A and B are shown apart, each in its own frame.
Chain A
Amino acid sequence: MGTDLNAIADSARSLYDQGLYREALENYEQLFTSQVKNDELFYNMGNCYARLGELGEAKLFYERALIYNPSNADASHNLDWVNLRITDALVEPRQELIEWVGQWGRSITDADTWALVGWGIIGVSILLLIARKTFAKSLNWRWPFTTSILALLIILVGNLSVPRMKKAIVVERNSYGYSEPSTNSKRIVLLSEGSAGTIVSTNDSWYYVELGDGRLAWFNTKEWKYVLPGLD
């Protein structure tokens, strides 16, 4: 299975080198539908979109790559490259403290590894507690207490490392923001592709989006995509 997927990836790379970016992208999308989710795949998809001039989609995939590996320097560079070419000088949505902790956690290792480390320390704590209760009664209580707190913190970081952001990006050329979830309501903002916001709520085919400067407007869901894959 893995070999087939890598063959598709090699084929995509070959197409990319020939300048056939749309075809390369189709191959990468095939990998995505086969449940491949890593920063390299999203980064390569971002490159295809960047070469095709679809900067909104390119930004979306570079940001996805950075979710899975915040220390991917190439993805950061290409994201900056795209951001320089996006026309709207809209402020990016503010990162919450929880998101920041999660990003920091992911930059070290993935959520499952955090959980496994936490389990190990829980095991040590339990052993220390048993020892103190039975054969090593003189063991200082601070040892199991410290290991328990450490385990708790590690499990917490592991939990926060699971991406849960509500950030979305405009993937069409333009996106009108309306005062109500209806095209008959007043247009209050016009955004270019690549602009970002945080989705506050949804209503049928409408997203209620908070922009980085604090404005709120309703946008058509067809023009926006969640950065976190699988939420659309």
Chain B
Amino acid sequence: MKRIGKILIVFALLLSSSAFGQNIELTASCSRTSVDLNEPFRVTFATNSRKGDIQPPNFKKFIVVNGPFQSSQTQIINGRVSSQRSLTYEIVAQQEGEFTLPSASILVDGKLIESNRLKISVKAGTKRKNTLSQKAKESFNVSILASKKSVYVGEPVILKFRATLLDPVRDLSILQAPNFENVLQKQLEFKQQSQREVIGNKVATVLDFDKRLILPNKPGTLGGQELKISGQVQVPTGRRDFFNMPLTKFVPEVATAKIPAVKIKPLPSGAPNSFEGGVGELKLVREISRKEVSGEESITIKLRIEGAGNFNTLEVPELDKPEGFDVYDPKYNEDISYSERGIRGYKEYEYLLVPQYRGEFILPQMSWSYFNTASEKYETINVAADTLVVNNPALAGVQQSSLPGTVKREVSTIEDDIRYLQEGQFEPYQEIRLKRWSLVLLGILGVFWLWQLAPNREKVSSGVNWKKSQLKSVQKAFMVNDDQRYGVMLNALEFALVKKGLNLESVSQAALEKPFGGEIAKQIIALIEQCNMAQYAPLAVSDESNNLKTFVEVWEQI
């Protein structure tokens, strides 16, 4: 065991000495030095050092499509140990030209080692190295489709981002999203759906993966950086496997789409004075809750712009306030939705008007202009004047001036004063304070309710009553010397026994002792025998008064 340990230590020393013995290098290499625009190619940084981390350079003019992929290997040949570590990226050039890729670096034992620099020539249309890459390029296309080619400032345009795939593509991702200039853009919600289309003689998959609403702010042409997306295209290699199935290979590819040429026209000159920037197909609505009020009612006026247009920038005009009302700060409401049909909804101010004077007041007419994108003309909406009538007699009146359509407040009015003194009987106020007694009366009422809810007394004493009535029946039968007097007595006894859950037919002394005690049980048995005998042999029964006395004694105790 000790021997094996020694061998391992020597082996480790040999490894370390061999590492120290060689020069540390960091080399950069690439799969191609002359590439097509958007053609992915590999850049590899490799070192023979087993220490330190490889720091990649800044790929300024390039975009990393894949990676980094790391690999490392160690070889021992004739006792000589060598190791290799590498870092690989797949990148694409963003523009044409000659570029020098900065060097990568590695820090080993405090010493910074740099790699060689790579010169890359990027030229659009450069023939690709292999046919697979060329096929991948042809199979993977992306485009931006605009809903209109020419719009006015403030008129929305919908852009659709579409990928056309002749071969299956996986790992689709947007490398660079277009940053449109001088526009408001809003991503629209929609359900991604792919569909099959025949392009040339091939069936392609068409996928719309993004939709945006663009609202230009300045005239000119829609501009911005192009769209770039990357993916792994599954390209057939042309070879077949053991089972004669075609072999395919995933080839990384980048597709770009230029911003569509959409002309943004300025709004025509000659805008009316009441134009404040509204563009679209819009309406101005003025809603008055009521035109005639009485008492202390108030009026609500809603001023609303609705329809389709540039709601993000347009403003609702202010209300021309009528005389004779206190107008409170308006409440703002809006409901705006962005969709493929453009920007739709409304913006609204809700004013509350509280009458201050009695009379008729003119709510002035108002005009509002907007640019109609359908007719491509400025249009003016006129809202006619309305008359508001205040009938509240508690308010001061107003005087109509000679000019039609205007109302002036009266300087001084007779009504605008406090009212005169009141007459009444001025007698000392006598507080009776009946409420205390009310509580007492409520208490008495409660007592009556308790009395009402108490169980009926007759029912409670029913147990006592039947005993009395049975005793009376027996005594009466004996008093009048009734023929059935013993029958009556036997019935009374049976009734009492049944109440105790006993049956006269099967009654025994033992059964009677439990509820009544030994002496009473004996007396009851004797009475039952006397009664039975009297029924079948009346003459055999004697000493009736004694029997009745015994019955009464027993009856009182059961």
Contacts and interface: CB of A to CB of B under 8 A. Distances in A.
A40 B445 CA distance: 38
Contact of A155 (B394, B420, B424, B438): B438
Nearest to A82: B418
B449 interface: yes
A40 B438 contact: no
Contacts of A87: none
A44 B422 contact: yes
Given A74-B422, A125-B445, A159-B438, A80 B428 contact: no
B425 interface: yes
Q: Is the interface of B mostly helix, strand, loop or mixed?
A: loop
A126 B444 contact: yes
Contacts of A77: 394, 418-419
A22 interface: no
Nearest to B454: A133
B418 A40 contact: no
Nearest to A45: B421
A51 B449 CA distance: 58
Given A1-B428, A115-B437, A40 B422 contact: yes
B429 A37 contact: yes
Contacts of A214: none
A116 B444 contact: no
B418 A6 contact: no
Contacts of B422: 39-40, 43-44, 72, 74
A115 B425 contact: no
B356 to A, nearest CB: 9
Nearest to A13: B421
A178 B426 CA distance: 41
A67 interface: no
A90 interface: no
A151 B448 CA distance: 14
Interface in B417-449: 417-429, 431-435, 437-439, 441-442, 444-445, 448-449
A121 to B, nearest CB: 10
Size bin of chain A's contact surface: 35 or more
Contact of B419 (A74, A148, A162): A74
Contacts of B536: none
Contacts, number: 112
Given A44-B421, A130-B448, A8 B426 contact: yes
A80 B394 contact: yes
Q: Is the interface of A mostly helix, strand, loop or mixed?
A: helix
A129 B444 CA distance: 12
A165 interface: no
A6 B444 contact: no
Contact of B428 (A36, A115, A116): A36
B269 interface: no
A129 B448 contact: yes
Interface in A64-123: 72, 74, 76-78, 80-82, 111-112, 115-116, 118-119, 122
A126 B426 contact: no
B427 A36 contact: yes
B451 interface: yes
B452 interface: yes
A31 interface: yes
Given A44-B422, A74-B422, A126-B445, A36 B434 contact: no
A43 B445 CA distance: 41
Contact of A41 (B426, B434, B452): B426
Contacts of A126: 444-445, 448
Contacts of A39: 422, 424
A111 B426 CA distance: 19
Interface string A25-68: 00000010011111111011001001100000000000000000
A191 interface: no
A152 interface: yes
Given A151-B445, A155-B438, A132 B452 contact: yes
A2 B431 CA distance: 16
Contacts of B416: 81
Nearest to B423: A40
* Residue picked from B425, B433, B439, most chain A C-beta under 10 Å: B425
B428 A6 contact: no
A37 B441 CA distance: 28
A16 B421 contact: yes
Contacts of A159: 435, 438
A213 B432 CA distance: 38
A118 B434 CA distance: 10
Contact of B451 (A9, A119, A129): A129
Given A13-B421, A74-B419, A129-B448, A40 B435 contact: no
Contacts of B421: 13, 16, 43-44, 47
Given A44-B421, A116-B434, A129 B452 contact: yes
A20 interface: no
16 contacts: A2-B425, A2-B426, A2-B427, A39-B422, A44-B422, A77-B419, A112-B431, A119-B438, A126-B448, A129-B448, A129-B452, A130-B448, A133-B452, A141-B452, A148-B445, A151-B445
A-B pairs, top 10 by smallest CB distance, nearest first, are A40-B424, A115-B434, A37-B429, A35-B428, A40-B422, A78-B418, A129-B448, A74-B419, A5-B426, A9-B426
Given A126-B444, A148-B445, A158-B438, 16 more contacts: A5-B427, A6-B426, A36-B426, A39-B424, A40-B423, A77-B394, A77-B419, A81-B418, A111-B434, A112-B433, A115-B435, A118-B438, A119-B434, A129-B448, A133-B452, A144-B452
Interface of B: 394, 416-429, 431-435, 437-439, 441-442, 444-445, 448-449, 451-452
